[in-house]
Structure 1
Amino acid sequence: MSGQNEQQIAEALRAAPPIILAPGPKEPPTQIPPVPNDVWALPGGTAWVYYGQGNRALTAPVIMADGFNTGPSTPEFSWNALEFSGFPLLSELRKRGKDVVLLGFTERSASILDNAEAAIAAIREAIARRQGGHPLTVGGFSMGGLVTRYALARMESQERTDHQTELYFSYDSPHRGAWVPIALQAFAHYIRRLDSRFSDQMNSPAARQLLWQHIEGWQDEPDTDEERKEFLAALELVGNWPRRPRLIGVANGVGSGQGNGITPGQTALRGKGLAITGTDLRTQATGDDSLVAALRVVTAQRPEIRTTDLPDIDGAPGGMLEGFGILADALNTFTGLGMGVDNPIRSHCFVPAVSAVAIRDIATNDDLYARIDSLPADASELDEFTLASQNEGHTAITQELGTWILDRLP
């Protein structure tokens, strides 16, 4: 296509909202949260505090950390995701006399280690402001579970601080790593010259730390990023887990080993517009020299991306993300510029169930598809965990999982 058309596409992409692979509401929040009883300004973040039913001050704090995304956390986003997306978790907490402390970050894609500073500050603030001696509950959703895991462990091992936390929880957190298909990562980097924001998200510190396999550029070989290695080393330095609280976690995937039905090696997104014809993004297949993507966006070339020895992870049991669908929806807003696509497969596994309950690594099909229900419970690094009865959306707030956590609060 002509340079003029390429410039038009670039201008249109940059003028539109960024393509962001993250769970939660895709549209602007429609429900306005109540006015918080208190707001804490924290280093690198903010906490919005909502007292429990019958409480006139902070009494029984439950600190809940936000997950991965781009840009700052907002109470509107968190409230809509946790209250109005399936099960009213926040209302149920407050009915039980628990004070909700929504912990957000100034930049959700910043380093987990940096955002842990906000978590540590929130824990200290809660202790200082709490009336009475009720112990804290501290945890988070997706990445938020890793932020608070590291924060509590550091407070114990390095700062020798009494964090007064009796219960730690994680909600579909990638304790053994998360997954974004190499096809999607490669596409993000391939269109960087047109709009860098999608690539920037994939290359953000948090993404590098969370993803089991990462590529920095579309021509790169998948590998464990150096920032992930450094994060795992930092976790090990503080003992990997806090030791004082009871550790619990939930997964949005099943424990039976049953996959989500996504077939490996299938086209998930196919270009049909003139500017993108030839693009073919596929679900991950195992084996040698497996084709995962062909890329063409306003170019004459059509390079192919291949991988070796990666498992069939897109179809694994676990919390799912509509990664292919999010990209397709964004591109289909530019059909007039020749960027339309077909999207036969919208979702992929994002946090494998074995990762969310910290029981297996995710490098092989045998581990990914392990029957967790048949494994001894003490094989997990968590003291107690539960799994969903079906493979569902990553961090989907369900009565099944929400009630399980509520029933274990101190």
Structure 2
Amino acid sequence: MSEPTPAQIADELKSKRPIVLSARPALAEPAAAPDADEEWPLPGGTAWVYYGKGHKQLVKPFITADGFNSGPSKLGELWEYLEGGAYRFISRLRERGYDVIIVGFDERSASILDNSRVAREAIMRAIAQRTGDAPLKVGGFSMGGLVTRHALAKMESEHIDHQTDLYFSYDSPHRGAWIPIALQAFAHYIRDLDSRFSDQINSPAAQQLLWRHIPEWDSTPEQSQQRTAFLQEMERIGEWPMRPRKIAVANGVGTGAGNGINPSDLAVEGKGLSVSGTKLYTQASGSKELVAKLRVVTLKTNEVRTSGLPAIDGAPGGTLEGFGILADGLNELNPWLGFKTDVPIRSHCFVPAVSAVDIRDVATDQDLYAPIDDMSPGDSRLDDFKLASQNEGHTLVTEELCSWIIERLG
């Protein structure tokens, strides 16, 4: 049998589900969510409303916004995520009389500033439809925490009464998120075969979220101009909403203990003929550190090296199976195409704990691995926060973290 052509490889890649990074794996058939009591079409998104126990209308609004991914928010996936695990977060909220409003976006990889307008519309509609004067609780998971943080702060800067007394975020990257440069480089390296992975890395939301970004496989990692503009916008509106009490939870520990991933370890290795020679490594600090060897179809192997970055893959924080998602996607291809891949390390730190609780930047090992438990809580701009008892999956819904949030709703 002859070797596959680039056109055949491209056709096969495009026929499969895209390789995109998400804390929630794409479900071929998401569980059907129960019918919402109300569905609000919003400019740029949708909100689904589930009344609290004993309610027949909106009384105590609890608004939670979706996080980063590619494409539109899907209610079935959101419901499975929030309700399908060991701790049923929506049910617990409704049992306490909160009317849960789930805010989704037409495009989750659009600019945070665009999706902030969706959250703002949901807040205004909740105020308009609410019976009584119970204050709103507003926040979100991952990027959703930044979307709602911006929405509330911008409303305050414009002297608009958001009537919110509590803001929450769930493993949100307040000081930046991290995708290994090796993964970003591979995404761009295969762009001519299938651009969807590269498109996600280069999307507005990804560039605004990522602490360091590369637009091409051989680019120097740096802060994206879109992130710079986003940070300037946050500074312009005061960084944080001032009126609500601000709380956050992190899926990483506060002890400073890493997740067990060592720097410079082999994470992904190409074994098939089309990717033989490809090797992706975990990030190491230092100068001219090798993070990737890239070879896809062509004979030449290219190297990617970095300088001045910390050993962030192993830092305490919420983890993402980025290496595993890539390997699984390649291994789903027809074996004849030669994309067989081994994945010795599936996960990496995605949202460092210090970022999720806004207490340190993520530029150095000293900050990333700092014992938050020993710091003054006043170092954070949050009023209160909770760290997980172990480093676990980014935005994993747990009783430990969700019950802590519920206890602080008042």
User: Normalised by the size of structure 2, how large is the TM-score?
Assistant: 0.98
Mapped to 1, the partners of 2:236 and 2:130 lie a distance apart of: 30
Query: Mapping of 1:84-233 within 5 angstroms?
Result: 84-157=84-157, 159-233=158-232
Quote how far apart the aligned CAs of 1:86 are.
3.2
The residue identity in structure 2 corresponding to 1:231 is F
Q: Secondary structure at the match of 1:206?
A: helix
Please tell me whether the aligned partners of residues 44 and 105 of structure 2 are also in contact (alpha carbons under 8 angstroms): yes
Please tell me whether the aligned partners of residues 31 and 77 of structure 2 are also in contact (alpha carbons under 8 angstroms): no
Please tell me whether the aligned partners of residues 150 and 234 of structure 2 are also in contact (alpha carbons under 8 angstroms): yes
1:49 equivalent in alignment to 2:31: no
Q: Which residue of 1 aligns with 2:327?
A: 328
Mapped to 1, the partners of 2:86 and 2:395 lie a distance apart of: 11
Q: Secondary structure at the match of 2:350?
A: strand
Query: Mapping of 1:253-264 within 5 angstroms?
Result: 253-264=252-263
Q: Which residue of 2 aligns with 1:357?
A: 357
User: Deviation digits for residues 111-156 of structure 1, max 9, x if unmatched?
Assistant: 0001000011000000000011100000000000000000000000
Q: Which residue of 2 aligns with 1:296?
A: 295
Mapped to 2, the partners of 1:370 and 1:138 lie a distance apart of: 29
1:276 equivalent in alignment to 2:275: yes
C-alpha spacing 1:29/1:139, structure 2 compared with 1 (3 Å) = farther
User: Deviation digits for residues 37-63 of structure 1, max 9, x if unmatched?
Assistant: 001111111100000011110010000
C-alpha spacing 1:25/1:194, structure 2 compared with 1 (3 Å) = closer
Query: Mapping of 1:338-357 within 5 angstroms?
Result: 338-357=338-357
Quote how far apart the aligned CAs of 1:333 are.
1.1
The residue identity in structure 2 corresponding to 1:256 is T
Please tell me whether the aligned partners of residues 10 and 194 of structure 1 are also in contact (alpha carbons under 8 angstroms): yes
Q: Secondary structure at the match of 2:5?
A: helix
Please tell me whether the aligned partners of residues 25 and 77 of structure 1 are also in contact (alpha carbons under 8 angstroms): no
Quote how far apart the aligned CAs of 1:164 are.
0.2
Matched-pair identity in %: 61
Quote how far apart the aligned CAs of 1:30 are.
4.3
Q: Which residue of 2 aligns with 1:312?
A: 311
Quote how far apart the aligned CAs of 1:28 are.
3.1
Q: Secondary structure at the match of 1:118?
A: helix
The residue identity in structure 2 corresponding to 1:329 is D
Q: Which residue of 2 aligns with 1:77?
A: 77
Quote how far apart the aligned CAs of 1:29 are.
4.8
The residue identity in structure 1 corresponding to 2:375 is L
Q: Secondary structure at the match of 1:236?
A: helix
Please tell me whether the aligned partners of residues 208 and 214 of structure 1 are also in contact (alpha carbons under 8 angstroms): yes
Please tell me whether the aligned partners of residues 25 and 80 of structure 1 are also in contact (alpha carbons under 8 angstroms): no
The residue identity in structure 2 corresponding to 1:97 is G
Mapped to 2, the partners of 1:85 and 1:197 lie a distance apart of: 29
Mapped to 1, the partners of 2:35 and 2:180 lie a distance apart of: 39
Please tell me whether the aligned partners of residues 59 and 99 of structure 1 are also in contact (alpha carbons under 8 angstroms): yes
Mapped to 1, the partners of 2:235 and 2:399 lie a distance apart of: 34
Mapped to 2, the partners of 1:4 and 1:325 lie a distance apart of: 25
Mapped to 1, the partners of 2:265 and 2:284 lie a distance apart of: 8
Mapped to 2, the partners of 1:276 and 1:151 lie a distance apart of: 44
Q: Which residue of 2 aligns with 1:371?
A: 371
Please tell me whether the aligned partners of residues 52 and 93 of structure 1 are also in contact (alpha carbons under 8 angstroms): yes
Larger mean Cα displacement after TM superposition, 125-134 or 327-336:
327-336
Quote how far apart the aligned CAs of 1:31 are.
2.6
User: Deviation digits for residues 319-357 of structure 1, max 9, x if unmatched?
Assistant: 000000000000001233100101000000000000000
Quote how far apart the aligned CAs of 1:5 are.
2.1
Q: Secondary structure at the match of 1:119?
A: helix
Mapped to 2, the partners of 1:329 and 1:4 lie a distance apart of: 20
Q: Secondary structure at the match of 2:247?
A: strand
The residue identity in structure 2 corresponding to 1:185 is Q
Q: Structure 2: any 5+ residue segments left out of the alignment? A: none
Larger mean Cα displacement after TM superposition, 242-251 or 76-85:
76-85
Quote how far apart the aligned CAs of 1:3 are.
8.3
Please tell me whether the aligned partners of residues 85 and 396 of structure 1 are also in contact (alpha carbons under 8 angstroms): no
Q: Secondary structure at the match of 1:33?
A: coil
The residue identity in structure 1 corresponding to 2:332 is T
Mapped to 2, the partners of 1:288 and 1:81 lie a distance apart of: 40
Please tell me whether the aligned partners of residues 253 and 353 of structure 2 are also in contact (alpha carbons under 8 angstroms): yes
Mapped to 2, the partners of 1:284 and 1:2 lie a distance apart of: 37
Quote how far apart the aligned CAs of 1:74 are.
1.3
Quote how far apart the aligned CAs of 1:177 are.
0.0
The residue identity in structure 2 corresponding to 1:292 is V
Please tell me whether the aligned partners of residues 86 and 396 of structure 1 are also in contact (alpha carbons under 8 angstroms): no
